[in-house]
Amino acid sequence: MMRFRAVVALGLMFMLLSANACGCLGGGSSKTDVQSTTTTTTLGQELQDLQKAHESGAIDDKQYEKAKKELLKKYNAD
């Protein structure tokens, strides 16, 4: 009985080491996560939102013109 337990314990240890070495347990592997951002708004929608912010007084004339210029530049670059 004692020999059976030792064989089972060694077998389990071997399985855990094998799983860890192949990366199955999150170790032994260097994996890089890649993140990307998708923009779902259009230039027209962003300009309308910007205009609403300007008309409501949330941003002044100077901020509006600067943000508008940046948006146009951003969308022309794509």
pLDDT digits (tens, 9 = 90+) for 35-74: 887 768 899 999 999 999 999 999 999 999 999 999 999 8
55 vs 58: CA distance, rounded Å: 8
48 vs 42: CA distance, rounded Å: 10
Contact 54, 61 (CB under 8 A): yes
Per domain, the residue ranges of the chain are: 41-78
Q: Alpha carbon 67 to chain centroid distance?
A: 26
Among positive and negative, which fits the CA dihedral 69, 73, 76, 78?
negative
pTM greater than 0.75 (yes/no)? no
| pLDDT (0 to 100) of residue 25 | 57
Q: At residue 33, what is the residue type?
A: D
